[in-house]
């Protein structure tokens, strides 16, 4: 096989790689419906975690969870959550989306369990609609949501444990950058379920009093449910449809890695996450000192938070920027986490407001010195680092901000 | 739950239950020594295996371990685990 | 710069499992992880000679982890509750985790649910973008009878893998190579030609 030199073509393509901006956001979470509810909770530090009657069975370590679907019983909660978030995000991005042909709008869904509610119903021989059953399969859930929201371009369902959300955002950007789409709807969803509650309980991974990220006495996580959506598009599309908005928020870079250590436990030294963070900063061409805020994964389990603290120390040394974790507000929303927590970062940037860490009382000894318990205003939030880690050793990091 | 007449836990049966619940391949009860460490070295079990053994104890011996720390010394070897089960099953 | 080429392909089915020599902890993995792992082992790639921080793993799983989900959920009524080990495998990406652990591969991961993802295209993009230097692609199709009843998908238990990297010895991806099976024919033909010329 002879050498084919494509260097010239490749160089041309690299310099023509479109910049990706965020054109719209939508969310339904434990603190309420809509991004505005998220914004308010970010400022007040309110937690959406509650004791849930339906999980008060003594078999479970804890009944504390973040409930987003308050009224009524749903047999297709995954679709409901994702659809509501998409409605809001597409509404915000309407100008861009109506200027793009549907065949050029892609769709990427992030979910760990899709509509697992259907499996519970079928197993118990309870009623389940055809749609509910269909949406047990993540790819079909993605396909149907794409139809509802007029995305006829490439469709994907990403399932990479708790990093699914960040990876779905990256996939959205990649689809645009390699020319397969001009805009992408990225949605993340997971709903609360006995399936997940029982699972984390069997791993003794739930905190009986509710998650306390980075706390000295932390004892585990609290599950949450959410639907979250972000519309991504090319900078030129955004600008031509929003000529008065000078500063959109850019997706500037990302990195992924695997710890290759243990199927549920992260590596103790955080080297895998550190590598993902460094890759994100390098690809974003953003220096360490240019990061103004870090939104951590911060599940509240002893191992995760220790590992993240180690990773941050490895990368930032003694100069770690302000850092906080949001799972005490929303719960651990699994597949939705990367998307909803990125939306929180968008809000932080726009508002110049640093979110705090609900649930945190006394920081652990080895937690970063810049860990914030209370939220507070900031003079400048130009670049934010968002990270997540998950079962199977996966790590992901994203850098977003102003140009 | 099986209880032998003299109330001692059959280590052979316990080893078989460990192999079955942890789905260890190519390991027979005869290959597991009574006093060999279960975790770290020896069988090289890990934290998930410990949790799986907690489930096995409840399912097959009716013993409930609320706090994983309570189980830690018991899980050191097959012998310590057998003694733990006997102690928990002894009539009060 | 060299082209991104497919340098190896492989397949693994349930029939291959009893003879698989993958260590004493292979048994605790779910069927999906076992098949995925075996297909990667069968690629015969010497990962140790490469920069393992730059090897990506991409996977597409037709029915996600549904077969394991059902098995896990059956245990909910047992004294002691459902199996924590099975819960760890109710994520299709756990199979990627097992592959990463066995071969110490710390590069990027990508896991799709459904059978329509063009993994070869994703792999080539990751390498072109320099997010990785090489990529393992695995297509997994695990549908048990219970899942076939719920989803209408045909029962299956198989995995196919391909290895992509820049090089001079291998197969160039063409437009019609939408999945690993389409490339397998090329690889088999080449191997047959090589064997007959000996």
Give the nearest chain C residue to B66 (CA atoms): C80
Residue B3 has pLDDT above 80, yes or no: no
Distance CA C67, CA B24 (A): 21
Residue in B48, B55, B68 nearest the CB of A263: B48
Collect all residues with Cβ–Cβ distance below 8 Å to A241 and sequence separation of at least 6.
A95, A96, A99
Which pLDDT score, from 0 to 100, does residue C152 have?
97
Of A23-37, A127-141, C36-50, C170-184, the range with the lowest mean pLDDT is C170-184
Q: Which domain holds residue B62?
A: 3-89
Nearest residue to A38 (alpha-carbon basis) of A63, A68, A70: A68
For chain A, the farthest-separated pair of C-alpha atoms sits apart, in whole angstroms, at: 67
Which listed residue (A135, A157, A191, A297) is catalytic?
Answer: A297
Residue B8 has pLDDT above 70, yes or no: no
**Which chain C residues contact residue A257 at CB under 8 A?**
53, 106-108
Give the domain CATH number at B13: 1.10.1200.10
Residue A338 has pLDDT above 50, yes or no: yes
Q: How confident is the model at residue B85 (pLDDT cuts 50, 70, 90)?
A: very high
Q: How confident is the model at residue B92 (pLDDT cuts 50, 70, 90)?
A: low
More confident residue, B79 or A12: B79
Region A10-37: mean pLDDT is 84
Residue in C112, C128, C131 nearest the CB of A157: C112
* Chains near B (3 or more Cβ pairs under 8 Å): A, C
Which pLDDT score, from 0 to 100, does residue A82 have?
98
| pLDDT > 90 fraction of chain A, expressed in percent and rounded | 89
List, as one string, the DSSP characters of C130-178.
Answer: TS-SEEEEEEEEEE-HHHHHHH-PPPEEEEEEEEEEEESSSEE--TT--
Residue A13 has pLDDT above 60, yes or no: no
Q: How confident is the model at residue C198 (pLDDT cuts 50, 70, 90)?
A: low
Region A9-32: mean pLDDT is 80
pLDDT tens for each residue of A141-195: 999 999 999 999 999 999 999 999 999 999 999 999 999 999 999 999 999 999 9
Which pLDDT score, from 0 to 100, does residue A182 have?
97
Closest Cα of chain A to C70: distance in Å? 8
Distance CA C8, CA C165 (A): 10
Residue A4 has pLDDT above 60, yes or no: no
Residue B53 has pLDDT above 70, yes or no: yes
Which pLDDT score, from 0 to 100, does residue A107 have?
98
Interface of C with A in 124-153 (CB under 8 A): 125, 128-129, 131, 150-151
Q: How many structural domains are present in chain B?
A: 1
Which pLDDT score, from 0 to 100, does residue B6 have?
44
Which pLDDT score, from 0 to 100, does residue B42 have?
77
| pLDDT > 70 fraction of chain A, expressed in percent and rounded | 96
Residue A201 has pLDDT above 50, yes or no: yes
Region B25-38: mean pLDDT is 90
Any chain B CB within 8 A of the CB of C152?
no
Q: What are the sequence ranges of the domains in chain C?
A: 3-196
Residue A3 has pLDDT above 90, yes or no: no
Residue A2 has pLDDT above 50, yes or no: no
pLDDT tens for each residue of C102-137: 999 999 999 999 988 899 999 999 999 999 999 999
Region A205-232: mean pLDDT is 98
pLDDT tens for each residue of B55-82: 999 999 999 988 878 888 999 999 999 9
A297 an active-site residue?
A: yes
**Which chain B residues contact residue A201 at CB under 8 A?**
none
Any chain A CB within 8 A of the CB of B46?
yes
More confident residue, C13 or C117: C13
Is C85's CB within 8 Å of B52's CB? yes
Nearest residue to C33 (alpha-carbon basis) of C25, B21, C151: C25
Distance CA A135, CA C169 (A): 43
- Mean pLDDT of the residues in chain A: 94
Residue C17 has pLDDT above 80, yes or no: yes
Give the nearest chain A residue to C5 (CA atoms): A1
Q: How confident is the model at residue A212 (pLDDT cuts 50, 70, 90)?
A: very high
Distances (CA, A) of A95 to A40, A106, C70: 26, 16, 44
Q: How large is the ipTM?
A: 0.96
Distance CA A183, CA A21 (A): 10
Residue A246 has pLDDT above 80, yes or no: no
Any chain A CB within 8 A of the CB of C14?
no
* β-bridge mates for residue B16, sequence order: none
Any chain C CB within 8 A of the CB of B48?
yes
Q: Does the pTM exceed 0.90?
A: yes
Q: How confident is the model at residue A16 (pLDDT cuts 50, 70, 90)?
A: low
Residue A349 has pLDDT above 70, yes or no: yes
Residue A207 has pLDDT above 70, yes or no: yes
Could you please state the CATH topology (level 3) that the domain comprising C3-196 is classified under.
Answer: Peroxisomal Thiolase; Chain A, domain 1 (3.40.47)
Any chain A CB within 8 A of the CB of C188?
no
pLDDT tens for each residue of A60-116: 999 999 999 987 799 999 999 999 999 999 999 999 999 999 999 999 999 999 999
Distances (CA, A) of B21 to A31, A142, B49, C79: 41, 37, 9, 14
């Amino acid at each position: 096989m002879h050498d084919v030199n494509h260097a010239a073509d490749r160089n041309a393509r690299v310099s023509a790689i479109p910049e990706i901006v965020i054109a719209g956001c939508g969310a339904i979470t434990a603190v309420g419906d809509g991004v505005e509810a998220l914004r308010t909770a970010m400022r007040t530090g309110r937690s959406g975690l509650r004791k849930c009657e339906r999980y008060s069975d003594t078999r479970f370590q804890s009944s504390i969870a973040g409930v987003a679907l308050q009224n009524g019983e749903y047999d297709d909660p995954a679709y409901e959550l994702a659809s509501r978030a998409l409605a809001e995000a597409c509404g915000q991005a309407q100008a861009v989306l109506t200027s793009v042909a549907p065949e050029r709008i892609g769709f990427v869904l992030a979910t760990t369990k899709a509509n697992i509610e259907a499996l519970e119903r079928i197993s118990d021989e309870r009623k389940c609609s055809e749609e509910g059953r269909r949406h047990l399969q993540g790819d079909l859930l993605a396909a149907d949501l794409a139809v509802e929201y007029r995305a006829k371009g490439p469709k994907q369902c990403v399932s990479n444990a708790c990093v699914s959300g960040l990876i779905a955002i990256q996939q959205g950007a990649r689809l645009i950058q390699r020319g397969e789409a001009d805009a992408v709807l990225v949605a993340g969803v997971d709903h609360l379920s006995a399936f997940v509650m029982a699972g984390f309980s069997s791993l003794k991974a739930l905190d009986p009093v509710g998650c306390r990220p980075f706390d000295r006495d932390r004892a585990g996580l609290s599950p949450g449910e959410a639907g979250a959506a972000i519309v991504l598009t090319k900078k030129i599309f955004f600008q031509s449809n929003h000529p008065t908005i000078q500063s959109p928020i850019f997706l500037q870079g990302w990195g992924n890695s695997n710890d290759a250590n243990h199927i549920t436990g992260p590596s103790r030294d955080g080297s895998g996450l550190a590598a993902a963070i460094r890759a994100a900063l390098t690809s974003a061409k953003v220096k360490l000192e240019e990061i103004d805020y870090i939104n951590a994964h911060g599940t509240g389990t002893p191992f995760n938070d220790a590992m993240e603290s180690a990773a941050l120390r490895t990368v930032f040394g003694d100069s770690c920027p302000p850092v906080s974790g949001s799972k005490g507000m929303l719960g651990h929303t699994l597949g939705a986490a990367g998307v909803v927590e990125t939306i929180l970062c968008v809000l932080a940037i726009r508002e110049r407001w640093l979110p705090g860490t609900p649930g945190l009382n006394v920081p652990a000894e080895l937690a970063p010195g810049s860990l914030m318990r209370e939220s507070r205003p900031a003079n400048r939030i130009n670049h934010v680092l968002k990270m997540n880690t998950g079962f199977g050793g996966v790590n992901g990091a994203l850098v977003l901000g102003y140009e | 739950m099986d209880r032998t007449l003299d109330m001692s836990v059959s280590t052979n049966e316990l080893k078989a239950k460990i192999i079955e619940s942890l789905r260890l391949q190519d390991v027979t009860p005869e290959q597991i020594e009574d006093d060999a460490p279960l975790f770290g070295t020896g069988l090289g079990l890990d934290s998930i295996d410990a949790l799986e053994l907690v489930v096995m104890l409840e399912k097959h011996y009716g013993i409930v371990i609320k706090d994983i720390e309570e189980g830690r010394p018991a899980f050191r070897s097959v012998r310590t685990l057998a003694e733990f089960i006997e102690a928990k099953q002894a009539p009060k | 710069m060299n082209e991104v080429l497919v340098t190896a392909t492989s397949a693994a089915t349930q029939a291959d499992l009893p003879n698989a020599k993958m260590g004493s902890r292979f048994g605790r993995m779910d069927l999906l992880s076992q098949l995925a792992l075996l297909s990667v082992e069968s690629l015969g790639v010497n990962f140790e000679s490469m920069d393992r921080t730059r090897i990506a793993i991409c996977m597409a799983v037709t029915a996600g982890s549904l077969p394991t989900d059902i098995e896990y959920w059956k245990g909910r009524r047992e004294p002691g509750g459902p199996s924590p080990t099975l819960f760890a495998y109710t994520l299709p990406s756990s199979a990627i985790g097992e592959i990463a652990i066995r071969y110490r591969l710390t590069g990027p991961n990508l896991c799709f649910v459904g059978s329509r993802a063009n993994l070869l295209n994703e792999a080539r993009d990751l390498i072109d973008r320099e997010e990785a230097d090489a990529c393992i692609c695995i297509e997994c199709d695990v549908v048990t009878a219970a899942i076939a009843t719920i989803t209408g998908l045909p029962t299956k238990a198989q995995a196919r893998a391909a290895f992509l990297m820049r090089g001079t010895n291998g197969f160039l991806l063409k437009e019609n190579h939408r999945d690993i099976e389409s490339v397998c024919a090329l690889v088999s033909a080449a191997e047959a030609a090589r064997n007959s010329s000996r």
